[in-house]
Amino acid sequence: MTNFNGSLIATVRCPICLDTFHWPTGDSLYEYRDGEFAELVISPAADAIKRADIMQTAYLRCPNPSEDANEHYLPAAYASYGNPLVIGLVGSTKSGKSHLLAAIIAEIQRDGLRPYGLTCRPVDFALHEAFLRERADPLVVRGEMLGATEEAITTYADALLVTSAAGTWPVAFFDVAGGDLAKTGKTARFVAGAGALIFVVDPDSALRTDADGERGLGDPTFDAVLGRLGGGKRHLELPAAMVVNKADRFRFVPPADVWLRRRGNGRVDAEAMLAESRDAYAFLYKNNANAWLRPFHECRRCTLHFVSATGGDPVDDAFPRGVRSQRVLEPVIALLAMTGILPGRESTKVGSW
Residue 281 as a binder of other proteins (CB under 8 A): the answer is yes
Residue 325 makes contact with other proteins by CB under 8 A? no
Q: Which of 312, 343, 348, 349 binds other proteins (CB under 8 A)?
A: 312
Task: Name which position in 7, 47, 214, 263 contacts other proteins (CB under 8 A).
Answer: 263
Which range binds other proteins by CB under 8 A, 33-41, 70-78, 131-139, 280-288?
Answer: 280-288
The whole-angstrom separation of Cα 297 and Cα 207 is 18
- DSSP character string of 240-302: EEEEETTGGGGTTSTTHHHHHT----SS--HHHHHHHHHHHHHHHHHTT-GGGGHHHHHBSSE
Select from 13, 72, 228, 300 the one that contacts other proteins (CB under 8 A): 300
Q: Is 233 in the site for other proteins (CB under 8 A)?
A: no
Cβ proximity to other proteins, 48 vs 211, nearer residue: 211
To other proteins, the closest distance from the beta carbon of 321 in angstroms equals 5
- φ, ψ of residue 133 to 5 degrees: the values are -70, -40
Nearer to other proteins, 169 or 319 (CB): 319
DSSP-H helix ranges across 23-147: 48-55, 97-109, 125-131
Parallel/antiparallel/unpaired status of strands 20-23 and 29-33:
unpaired
286 binds other proteins (CB under 8 A): yes
Looking at the Cβ atoms of 8 and 258, the one nearer to other proteins is: 258
User: By CB under 8 A, is residue 235 in contact with other proteins?
Assistant: yes
Asked if 141 touches other proteins (CB under 8 A), the answer is no
By CB under 8 A, tell whether 320 contacts other proteins.
Answer: yes
313 binds other proteins (CB under 8 A): yes
The reply to whether 215 sits near other proteins by the rule CB under 8 A is no
Beta bridge partners of 21: 12
Closest-CA residue to 264 (of 203, 322, 307, 201): 307
- The answer to whether the beta carbons of residues 180 and 98 sit under 8 Å apart is no
Point out which span in 101-109, 127-135, 317-325, 326-334 binds other proteins (CB under 8 A): 317-325
Contact predicate 15/172, CB 8 Å: yes
Q: Go through 318-352 and write b for each residue having 16 or more CB atoms within 10 A of its CB, e for each that does not.
A: ebeeebebbbbbbbbbbbbbbbbbbbbeebebbbe
Per the document, the length of the chain is 353
Give min distance, CB of 228 to other proteins, in A: 20
Exposed/middle/buried for 118, CB within 10 Å: 0-12, 13-18, 19+? Answer: buried
296 binds other proteins (CB under 8 A): yes
Q: Least distance from C-beta 272 to other proteins, angstroms?
A: 11
| Interface with other proteins (CB under 8 A), residue from 39, 111, 129, 257 | 257
Q: What is Dmax (Cα atoms) for the chain?
A: 75
- Give the one residue of 59, 116, 173, 283 binding other proteins; rule: CB under 8 A: 283
Q: How many CB atoms lie within 10 A of CB 133?
A: 10
297 belongs to the binding site for other proteins (CB under 8 A):
yes
Q: Measured between alpha carbons, how far is residue 259 from residues 299, 325, 329, 336 in Å?
A: 23, 13, 13, 20
Q: Should residue 271 be labelled a site residue for other proteins when binding is judged by CB under 8 A?
A: no
Residues 191-210 that bind other proteins (CB under 8 A): 209
Q: Where does this chain bind other proteins (CB under 8 A)?
A: 209, 211, 235, 251-254, 257-258, 261-263, 277-278, 281-286, 296-297, 300, 312-315, 320-322, 324, 353
